[in-house]
Structure 1
Amino acid sequence: MEAVLSAAVALLDEAGAPALTFRALAARLGTGVGTIYWYVSSKEELLDRATDHAIGGVLALVEGQPQSDDPIADLRAMAITLFDAIIDRPWLAAYFMRNTDVQGNSLRLYEKLGQQTLRLHLTPRQRFHAVSAITSVVIGTAADLGAELPQEVLNGHMDRDAYLDRFAEQWRSLDSAAFPFVQQIADEFAGHDDRDQFLAALELTLSGLRLQAQWVP
């Protein structure tokens, strides 16, 4: 199974989910398609198990992080570790926590995040919402950044900065009475760093969590 999942992850890393077929996997392993069915019953199960195999590395990194006196800081470190893993492997975003029957590593990582909220003054519902919000920021942002690049960038006709600046220039020319916000942030949009944008979104989420934990009804 280890060899099957390692080869599956390699195919996913190279070209995403469309590249992962039983025929391609069998060719990579130098075996027959029937052998793959000995380990998994379908492509969907293979995707879930390959995801969990990759998340195992993330879990190991998270488990190796020392616990601090601040659970919010620990949540931040865990979230960034997961984000970086999905940026490196964009296909992970679609399958993380999709089927915890076979994704034991994913469930344990979710548990590690949740355990930090046990150190905060929160209700069970608030803890559930907190971890859901954090994972949504991580997975959603990473998935968005991992989306296929515009054709103009892919074919080399323009780089990312030029592509963004084209829209920023359009925004600058809009009616300021109708679009005051868009005009004000046009320069920020043109030169923004994707990772900084993620960190800002994460910080907003964690700041809200800290405030909620400090409020005692």
Structure 2
Amino acid sequence: MEAVLTAAVALLDEAGESALTFRALAARLGTGVGTIYWYVSNKDELFDRATDHAIGGILTAVEGQPGSDDPIADLRVMAVTLFDAIVDRPWLTAYFMRNTDVQGHSLRLYEKIGQQTLRLDLTPRQRFHAVSAIVGVVVGTAADLGAEIPQELLDGHVDREEFLGRYAATWRSLDAAEFPFVHQIADEFAGHDDREQFLAALELTLAGLRLQAGT
């Protein structure tokens, strides 16, 4: 199973979800397609287990991080670790926590994050909402960054600055009385850094949690 999942993750890393087929996986392993069915019953299970295999590395990294006296600071470190890993492997966003019956690493990572909220004065519902919000910010933002890149960017016909600049220029041309917010943030949008934007969203989420917990 270890060899099967390692090869599956490698295919996903190389070319995304479309690259992971039973035929391609069998060829990578130098075996027949029928052999794969000894380990997984269908493609959905293969994707779920491959995702969990990759999450195992993230869990190891999180478990190896030193804790602090501040659970919210520890939550920040965990969230950033998960975000950076998913940005490197955008295919994870579609399958993370999709089936915890087979995704033991994912469930343990979720538990590890949730345990930090046990250190705060919150109700069970507040803890559930807090962890859902943090995971949502991490996975949602990473999924957005991993969305299909426009072909003109892939081809190198335009760079990111020029691509974003087009939209910013359009926004600046709009009626300022009708779109005052868009006018004000057009320059910020044109030169924004995606990771910085994620960190800002995470800080807003954690600041709300800190207020709710009264710390």
TM exceeds 0.5? yes
Q: Does 1:144 align with 2:130?
A: no
For residues 168 and 17 of structure 1, what CA distance do their matches in structure 2 show?
32
CA distance in 2, matches of 1:161, 1:144: 18
Q: Deviations over 1:46-99 (max 9, x none)?
A: 000000000000000000011100000000000000000000000001100000
Mapped partners of 2:114, 2:61: distance in 1: 16
Identity %, equivalent residues: 82
Name 2:162's counterpart in structure 1: 162
Equivalent position of 1:64 in the other structure: 64
Aligned length: 215
Equivalence for 1:39: 39
1:105-157 alpha-carbon deviations (Å, 9 max, x no partner): 00000000000000000000000000000000000000000111112211211
Deviations 1:185-205 (A, max 9, x none): 000000000000000000000
Letter paired with 1:145: L
Report 1:39-118 matches (<5 A). Answer: 39-118=39-118
Letter in 2 for 1:4: V
The corresponding residue for 2:182 is 182
Q: Distance in 1 between matches of 2:213 and 2:37?
A: 48
Amino acid at match of 1:167: Y
Partner amino acid, structure 1, of 2:201: A
Amino acid of the residue matched to residue 181 of structure 2? Answer: F
- TM norm structure 1: 0.98
Flag structure 2 segments of 5+ consecutive residues without an equivalent.
none
Match of 1:25 in 2: 25
- For residues 189 and 23 of structure 1, the distance between their equivalents in structure 2, rounded to whole angstroms, comes to 43
- Mark the runs of 5 or more structure 1 residues left unpaired by the alignment: none
Letter in 2 for 1:151: Q
Amino acid at match of 2:176: S
Q: Secondary structure at the match of 2:192?
A: coil
Q: 1:206: which partner in 2?
A: 206
Residues in 1 aligned to 2:42 and 2:16: alpha-carbon distance in whole angstroms: 17
| Distance in 2 (alpha carbons) for counterparts of 1:147 and 1:161 | 18
CA distance in 1, matches of 2:89, 2:156: 23
Q: Which residue of 2 aligns with 1:133?
A: 133
The alignment status of 1:122 with 2:126, answered yes or no, reads no
